[in-house]
Structure 1
Amino acid sequence: MAVLGFIGMGNMGSAMLSGAKETFGKENIIFHRNSREKMVEFSKKEEVDYCESNNEVVKKAKYIILAVKPQMFEKVAKEIAQDITKENVLISLAPGITISQMADMFKTNRIVRSMPNTPAMVGEGMTGVCYNKEIFSGDEIDNITKIFKSIGKMKVVEEKLINSVVCASGSSPAYVFMFMEALADSAVKCGLPRKDAYEFVAQTVLGSAKLMLETGKHPGELKDMVCSPAGTTIAGVEELEKNGFRKAIFAATDACFDKCVNIK
């Protein structure tokens, strides 16, 4: 019996499979995706066996990673619910669908709800995870932890906070990339070659994040360290404030949260 079975193989599913392969071994992982051509291609690339159906994945693996979009959940549930046993652990990557809703769909309460993000593709993901620890054994909890730590860092949160996690880390890489693109474009406007602009910006974002994590300093304090009196940085900060930088972030977060609550 395989340890991990993946249903769906988009960006997040692929990233998690690649990370899990290093932790659990490729011989302990199976998957299925709708496109047979892409399934065969991915199987050869990752050296991981595929299954002919989602039902086969459920029958052959203990931990089932549901890398399925929210709008496909009900369809997948109807397809595999009859094959789920009390030994299976279902791990959902989809936003907006509660453990209670999934329990109704899949006819089991052995469910882990999670919100990973795309930096998992390079082993630097941040995943919020929620589940009822009383339902799982110690070994199962250890394996759940290993699955998510294989793609970066994880933090267990209460389910009522998981939509906030989507805002903080699940969707926000898109905003970070928009910021990086805009900053690089502005540097190009000032004469810096585009390739160099992307490198300077990317390393600055990476270094800034590492500085905050490793020093434990408040981001406001780190910002103040760059802002010399009457200097270039505070002039730039003033323009960001004038143009609603913070307000735009709050608005984006509100929209993201509302979508999580009302996802269809």
Structure 2
Amino acid sequence: MTSTHTATATREPAAPAGTHAAAPLLPSILLVGSGKMGGAMLEGWLAQGLAPSVIVDRHRDSLPAPHRIVRAIADIPADFTPDVIVLAVKPQKADPALQDLAKRFPAATLLSVMAGRSIASLKAVYGGEKGLVVVRAMPNTPCLLGAGMSGLYAPPEATPEQKRHCESLLRAVGETVWVDAEGLIDSVTGVSGSGPAYVFLLAELLTKAGVEQGLPEETARILARETIYGAGRMLHTLPTDAAELRRNVTSPGGTTAAALAVLMADDAWPAATSAAVAAAVTRAKELSG
């Protein structure tokens, strides 16, 4: 995958939950859809310092001032114009929201974090307004902890300021990488967008295997989770390539080598991982309009 921005290995620590920066560091947003992904990003944005914004949410009861909650797009205050509209609804539910947004904001910067939905399909529903610029992004759920990974794509008509606003929002909750073709957002979806679920599955399977080898379930659970956490920190902190890190813990003829001989068989992890990512990418393409 080709990128025009390289993610770095440094990140400002996320502010503790429940704390909010005093000075706005981020652009104002209209957030439409604050479920698991939208809600995770919102918590990170509030902690980093968000310019006065409006959240469309039918369930959340409160936000710290000066931010406001409304229950529907029709309830957005007439005097509010966001720097960025963030669309974080399910792809299948996007069209009614887009139609309502087009009536209120005929010209806008729209940051879509939905899987699959192409820029062309979003603009077609919006009404093909020339003033609409859509930037696509695919974050993942570790955004909740400020440890997200997001891929972004901006069309040629996006201005540097529009790109900067969108990137600043995603960098506030993790790392970012730009791709230079919209179709590669589907590839990002298959690798990092869905990627946390693959790691969680590994934790499940390691726990199960530990129990099968006689460990108490809670002991196996702790061993699996903390091992994945430690290995992840090594990958994040050290410049060493993942393959080299693997070789460093694999003594010839040892226990790790015995395990890897099973996992690295041609019909095991190499084939299954490629097939899994390809299945996610295929589904993302199927969701495109």
Instruction: Provide TM-score, normalisation by structure 1.
Output: 0.87
Please list every run of 5 or more consecutive structure 1 residues that lacks an aligned counterpart in the other structure.
none
SS in 2 for 1:227: coil
| Conservation of the 8 A alpha-carbon contact between 2:88 and 2:112 | yes
Map of 1:100 onto structure 2: 120
Name the SS of the counterpart of 1:28 in structure 2. Answer: coil
Aligned CA-pair RMSD: 2.3
Output the CA distance in 1 between the equivalents of 2:135 and 2:76.
17
Q: After TM superposition, which residue ranges in structure 1, 4 or more long, deviate above 3 angstroms?
A: 44-48, 55-59
**What secondary structure sits across from 2:287 in the alignment?**
coil
Q: Structure 1 residues 11, 45: closer, same or farther in 2, change over 3 A?
A: farther
User: Match for residue 7 of structure 1?
Assistant: 32
**Alpha-carbon distance, 1:90 to partner:** 0.8
Is structure 2 residue 189 aligned with structure 1 residue 166? yes
Distance 1:178 1:194 in 2: 16
Structure 1 residue 44: Cα displacement: 5.5
* 2:158 is aligned with 1:135: yes
Matched, 1:32 2:47: no
Structure 1 range deviating more: 54-63 or 213-222: 54-63
In structure 2, the gaps of 5 or more residues are: 1-26
TM-score (norm 2): 0.80
Match of 2:178 among 156, 163, 167: 156
Identical-pair percentage: 28
Residue 100 of structure 1 deviates from its aligned partner by: 1.9
CA contact (8 A) 1:4 1:29 kept: yes
Q: Deviations over 1:117-152 (max 9, x none)?
A: 0111111100001113653253x4332222111111
Give the Cα–Cα distance (whole angstroms) in 1 for the partners of residues 46 and 247 of structure 2. 43
1:223 matches 2:243: no
SS at match of 2:143: helix
Q: Retained in 1: the 8 A contact 2:31–2:54?
A: yes
Q: Which amino acid aligns with 1:141?
A: K
- Match in the other structure for 1:236: 259
CA displacement 1:9-53 (0-9 Å, x = unmatched): 11011011111112233x7122112x3xx232xx26899521131
Which amino acid in 2 is paired with 1:71? Q
**Maintained 8 Å contact 2:40/2:144:** yes
User: How far apart are the structure 2 equivalents of 1:8 and 1:39?
Assistant: 11
One-letter amino acid of the counterpart of residue 152, structure 1:
G
**1:254, 1:160 → 2: CA distance?**
13
Mapped to 1, the partners of 2:200 and 2:163 lie a distance apart of 33
- Cα offset, 1:202, TM superposition: 2.1
The residue aligned with 1:210 is 233
Distance in 2 of aligned mates of 1:251 and 1:46: 47
Q: How does 1:59-208 map to 2 (within 5 A)?
A: 60-62=80-82, 63-86=84-107, 88-106=108-126, 107=129, 108-132=131-155, 134-138=157-161, 140-158=162-180, 159-208=182-231
Asked if residue 259 in structure 1 is aligned to residue 259 in structure 2, the reply is: no
Structure showing greater relative contact order (alpha-carbon pairs closer than 8 Å, 6 or more residues apart): 2
